[in-house]
Amino acid sequence: MIRLCSLIFIVILLASGNLFAGVNSDCMDCHEDESLTGLDYHEAEISMFVNETVFGSSVHGEFDCVDCHEDLLDFDDYPHEEELNPVNCAGCHDEVAEIYAGSEHSLTENEKAPTCTSCHGTHQILPTDDANAMTSAANLPHTCASCHQELHLKVDPDLRMTDAYDRYMRGIHAEGIARGIEAAASCNDCHGMHDLRKAADPLSRVNKMRVPETCSKCHNEVYLKYSRGIHGKALAAGITDSPNCVDCHGEHQILDINDLNSPVNASNLSDYVCSRCHNDPQIVAKYGMSENQFSTYQDSYHGLAVKGGSVKAATCASCHEAHDILPSSNLASSIHPNNLTETCQKCHPQANDEFAASYTHKVVEAETNTVDTLVRNFYILMIIVVIGGMLLHNGIIIGRIILNKYRLSKSRKEISRFSKNMIFQHIVLFTTFTVLVITGFALKYQDQFWVGWLSALGLNEAIRSLVHRIAAVGITYISFHHLYFVFFTKRGREELKAVFPVKKDITDAADNMNYYLGRSNKHPKFDRYDYTEKMEYWALVWGTLIMGITGLVLWFPVIVTSFLPAWVVKIAETIHLYEAWLATLAIVVFHFFFVMFHPDRYPMSVTWMTGGISDEECREHHPLWHKRILEEEENNSVGEDTLSNREQD
């Protein structure tokens, strides 16, 4: 009855032309002022300006102001009171209002929940098929975002809402709308309009059980395939563990299958979509699926090739189909024995039945598993015996060579390079550094095979962290020991002076590179320590200082954050990790080369054990130091001869 009366009223209104034009003019006397403002129902300041041209082109353009602002009907004492009753849209749109009354927007207790004007506007309301309407397909996401981008919209501040707008705008649906594709989905196509309900509501279009039906409005052919498949059947049977459309494709940020960032792109599908269920121990056990289905794919050529970046290798969908997935027992399944060869022929045109049977997930068959296990165990044993024997064989040879070098150094006159104190420092430094590297990287890279070996030997997290801290204390001790040595002992001060950088080191480095590049026949003459040894020493000092400081921050974060900002801990963690990598690689690439792999040192220099180097090595590599040693010996000899002559006199 209300709708009939409203319709009659509108007809009369349209027929009367400008009969009531004067009523609106009274309102526009004030509301044509662009600076006019007022307060909305949430006490927020808003503009009260009404653009008469815009209003005239709206769906209500032929209405009088009092048709909506009914409390001003028969009112003539303008200006009116500042606060008016809200406009009641239900007076004309009663059926829509009834639907809206049962929606989440209406029922929510959130005071900022949208009303009619939130979505449709006020004086500028346009039909939905108008490109400029707030509710048009192109503008609706922006309209919804006016609330759904605001975190304070939530009733419970502990609950986070995803930034649906930004994600949607990056997706293929928003891209389709931007390209003018009318069928591209906007917010209302999935969530509904006036009947919008939250996802947990069984009647919601985006409820877990109803998502496939919602998507079918545009993707009906795919929906039919999905419904025939095991996932669709399981979901229809009430098994909510079964995936629906958004579980695989995503919700708002749905990307084209060819987009490398899409979860259903060939490079991501197996690892990031299918594995979520088929590699989940709980789901596998709950539904009696094979425990090895996903791992056998990963270990196959197909899985390894996809991981390596292949765009042609088969993914899960290549064999099992994408939507109409069925178990192998179903005659219609792409992996049923009757259909398997044909499935393989999609990629391998010459495939026959035997080829098709050569790769399946059925590795649990007794005869296959037994033979495979025997072969695997045989080769593991062979690797241990053969490679272990080779390592032992070569280790004996290298050990003998090192022993001979050590004995030779003891049997000949050598020039002292390191004192016993320095040898002790090096041994402690090497030991603690090695332990720190192993136990530190074992925490960061727990998935590596060698960490598994350490765990098998009993190095669990409690022991690892304890050993790491003990080694840290050890390297801290030897650092202070070294400081005392270089500042408070005569030998230490001499060593510090010798290792201090000088201008000649720069020219030595250039001359050395030119010599080995064949640009010069001039080999640089090094002193007690060459430029590489000085670089290593000062890099060690710097690295130890950095690792010590950051290590203390990570060891005592509670104390540190009591006087420093929290981000310091994270920065310390990053520096600690990459400084560890820098130090480890420097030792392996640079230090090990000069003391182990250099042709003149191979298989190892024994100076770190004996403290001495041969006269020949000193003359060859440290000629300036060797010359100074000879001069000192000559001076000492002359001094001894002079003293002897005086004693005879």
- In SS3 terms, 271-286 reads as HHHHHHHHCCHHHHHH
The three-point CA angle 334-340-345 to 5° equals 100
Instruction: Report pTM.
Output: 0.69
**149 domain residue, yes or no:** no
Q: What length does the chain have?
A: 649
pLDDT of residue 133: 93
pLDDT > 70: what percent of the chain?
A: 92
pLDDT tens digits for 563-601? 999 999 999 999 999 999 999 999 999 999 999 988 888
Phi, psi of 496 (to 5 degrees): -65, -40
Among candidate residues 68, 84, 61, 56, the one with its CA nearest the CA of residue 6 = 68
**509 domain residue, yes or no:** yes
**Bridge partners, 416 (sequence order):** 612
Kindly indicate the confidence band of residue 639, based on its pLDDT and cuts at 50, 70 and 90: low
Evaluate if residue 79 carries a pLDDT over 90: no
Q: In total, how many domains does the chain have? A: 1
Among candidate residues 574, 577, 585, the one with its CA nearest the CA of residue 539 = 585
Contacts 24+ apart (CB under 8 A), 141-147: 141/165, 141/168, 141/169, 141/174, 141/186, 141/187, 143/118, 143/119, 144/119, 144/187, 146/118, 147/112, 147/114, 147/118
Evaluate if residue 551 carries a pLDDT over 80: yes
pLDDT tens digits for 147-199? 887 654 455 667 666 778 889 999 999 999 999 898 899 999 999 999 999 89
**48 domain residue, yes or no:** no
AA identity, residue 8: I
Among candidate residues 156, 597, 540, the one with its CA nearest the CA of residue 398 = 597
* Mean pLDDT of the region 284-303: 86
pLDDT tens digits for 507-516? 999 999 999 9
Kindly indicate the confidence band of residue 11, based on its pLDDT and cuts at 50, 70 and 90: very low
Evaluate if residue 365 carries a pLDDT over 60: no
Among candidate residues 263, 229, 233, the one with its CA nearest the CA of residue 248 = 263
**510 domain residue, yes or no:** yes
Q: How many CB atoms lie within 10 A of CB 147?
A: 17
Token representation of residue 18: 């400008």
Kindly indicate the confidence band of residue 9, based on its pLDDT and cuts at 50, 70 and 90: very low
Evaluate if residue 240 carries a pLDDT over 70: yes
**Bridge partners, 47 (sequence order):** 37
Q: How far apart are CA 519 and CA 319, in angstroms?
A: 62
Respond yes or no on whether the N-terminal peptide bond of residue 114 is cis (omega within 30° of 0).
Answer: no
Query: Please, are residues 133 and 126 in contact by the beta-carbon 8 Å criterion?
Result: yes
Evaluate if residue 640 carries a pLDDT over 80: no
Residues 6+ apart with CB under 8 A from 468: 435, 436, 439, 440, 443
| Strand-strand pairing, 612-614 and 45-47 | unpaired
In angstroms, the Cα distances linking 246 to 6, 211, 242, 252, 276 are 43, 8, 11, 9, 13
Mean residue pLDDT across the chain: 87
**221 domain residue, yes or no:** no
Q: Which domain holds residue 444?
A: 408-633
pLDDT of residue 549: 95
Respond yes or no on whether the N-terminal peptide bond of residue 79 is cis (omega within 30° of 0).
Answer: yes
Q: In the chain, what's the furthest Cα-to-Cα distance?
A: 148
Evaluate if residue 23 carries a pLDDT over 50: yes
Q: How far apart are CA 608 and CA 99, in angstroms?
A: 87
**216 domain residue, yes or no:** no
**1 domain residue, yes or no:** no
288 exposed, middle or buried (CB, 10 Å; 0-12, 13-18, 19+)? exposed
Chain center to CA of 411:
59
Token representation of residue 171: 């997706």
Q: Write the DSSP string, 367-384.
A: HHHHHHHHHHHHHHHHHH
Q: How far apart are CA 157 and CA 273, in angstroms?
A: 31
CATH of the domain at 435: 1.20.950.20
According to DSSP H, which parts of 300-365 are helical?
A: 301-307, 316-320, 337-344, 353-357
According to DSSP H, which parts of 160-204 are helical?
A: 164-169, 172-178, 187-191
Q: How far apart are CA 428 and CA 471, in angstroms?
A: 10
**615 domain residue, yes or no:** yes
Q: How far apart are CA 526 and CA 515, in angstroms?
A: 14
Q: How far apart are CA 178 and CA 175, in angstroms?
A: 5
Token representation of residue 628: 């100074």
* Mean pLDDT of the region 635-641: 62
Give me Rg for the CA atoms of the chain.
41
